[in-house]
Amino acid sequence: MFTAPVLIVGAGACGLTAALAVRQQGLDVLVLERDDRPSGNTALSSGMIPACDTRFQRVKHIVDNAAIMAADIQNKNKGLANRDLVFEVASLSGSTVEWLADSHGVPFELVDGFLYPGHTRVRMHAPPGRTGAELMVALLRAARNQAIDLMTSARVVDLFADRDGRVAGVRVERPGGETEDIGCATLILACNGFGGNRRMVREYIPEMADATYFGHAGNTGDAVLWGTQLGAALGDMDAYQGHGSVAVPHGILITWALMMEGGIQVNAAGQRFSNEHQGYSEQAMAVLQQPGQVAWDIYDGRIHELGMQFEDYRLAQGAGAILTARSVEELGKMTNLPAEALSETLRHCEEMAGNLASDSFGRDFSTKPTLQPPYCAVRVGGALFHTQGGLNVDLDARVLRTDGTRLPNLFAAGGAARGLSGTGAAGYLSGNGLLSAVVLGRIAGKSAAALADK
Ligand SMILES: Cc1cc2nc3c(=O)[nH]c(=O)nc-3n(C[C@H](O)[C@H](O)[C@H](O)COP(=O)(O)OP(=O)(O)OC[C@H]3O[C@@H](n4cnc5c(N)ncnc54)[C@H](O)[C@@H]3O)c2cc1C
């Protein structure tokens, strides 16, 4: 049986970053990916990775550090994530993004012009088109340049472990049904969470059981299932990233930047129903609770220009999802929303912007210009993007048993590991997903290589 020093399950951002870190330690690594072309949730994402104290920030005179970033993450999750892990990941975020950019050619730009809910600093780093597909292209190219072995169409269906939980290898199933066993000194689970497993979503996140899953279908919770069999502890299994702005029926993500720059969401009655600035994750449920389970993003031409930075948004524009109207009356006709109620909602927003009234949902309207014609609108729904609960890990990304001890040679990161978002939907701070994938993934790669090399 072929044996790899480090074996990685899953070739998304986490698996590929981990593999790059292993190669940096001079060890061979084999990545196993179920799809014939690796994509994962990473390719579906906007490719935005939060990182602090980077050279990209310094050029723009943005003062940021691990303490500020960790505080943002912990404020959003109400202090419910592992504080030490959050700080460790925040501390290594800047060097990881710079390493991916400078040593591996990932084309990061600092995304400025708006802040996501809960971010107190501009710290999102993304490829020029703001797509995870570009991130995947860059990571796959880097993996090729580093001569990383990647086996595609290779679904891992089982792990072999001794009674102590030491993993000896895995069984891989090929599309034709034939199987192959591969040994390993260390194993990294980078096969994301269980968003693609309806039964597990129903069990752990019942509120999202019937919601649209907008992530990668192949993320079926294998890491959690295997880890549990080995006695691993699970954490925050009800945590998830939702999103309250997916174009209906087009199924295209409409960036939350529109809301942060002054846009609002209204329901079929033309009325706002929430504080849009709390976060897009919890907004998934808020939208699903509206009549018809839909809402309308309402904004204007100024904000539309910001949206055009995003490839997904341009796609939505091309698909006819974005409506433009010269007046509120025309907007009412185009959307079938009651123009009078819509007009009243906009008038109230103007009052709040001028500090003549306050928002019953708690949003501060005074920091952005009021909406002006031409108005824009997109019909949107709420969706489950990915799960945030998973295998409990320590600061070396080692998987822990329920008694807190380490399993002998098992590592997890990205969506396979317990995330940084505490519980439920509201703890998710924008970027927590890829942050855990690339930073914890890099940690996992380094630690697994060090253990395999002993
Ligand atoms: C629409 C959308 C937008 C998002 N935008 C952002 C964003 O801008 N910023 C951010 O931080 N996060 C974002 N996220 C979340 C982010 O995409 C994920 O948190 C991140 O990609 C997880 O990376 P990963 O490598 O752990 O998982 P993935 O990228 O999903 O990779 C896991 C891989 O494992 C493979 N796999 C699964 N099971 C097996 C098996 N048994 N055998 C072999 N292979 C297997 C899968 O096929 C997949 O390729 C978004 C998510 C969605 C859905």
- Is 413 within 8 Å of 190 (Cβ atoms)? yes
What predicted TM-score, i.e. pTM, was given to this entire model? 0.95
What is the 273 CA–ligand 1 centroid distance (Å)? 31
Does ligand 1 come within 6 angstroms of the Cβ of 11? yes
Ligand 1 neighbour 415 (Cβ under 6 A):
yes
Q: What is the pLDDT of residue 239?
A: 98
Residue 393 DSSP one-character state: B
Helix axes 339-353 and 328-335, enclosed angle (nearest 10)? 130
Judge whether residue 454 has pLDDT over 90.
no
The CA-based dihedral angle spanning residues 417, 422, 274, 362, taken in that order and rounded to the nearest 10 degrees: -140
What is the average pLDDT across 199-207?
98
Phi, psi of 430 (to 5 degrees): -50, 125
Report CA(319)–ligand 1 centroid distance (Å): 25
Quick one: pLDDT at residue 1? 84
Q: Whose CA is nearest to atom 19 of ligand 1?
A: 433
Give the tens place of pLDDT for each residue, 363-380: 999 999 999 999 999 999
Ligand 1 pocket: which of 16, 434, 442, 443 to mutate (most atoms <8 Å of CB)? 434
Angle between helices 83-102 and 441-452 (to 10 degrees): 90
Contacts of 171 (CB under 8 A, 6+ apart): 156, 157, 158, 159, 160, 179, 180, 181
CA of 415 to the centre of ligand 1 (A): 7
Tens digit of pLDDT for each residue in 52-107? Answer: 999 999 999 999 999 999 999 999 999 999 999 999 999 999 999 999 999 999 99
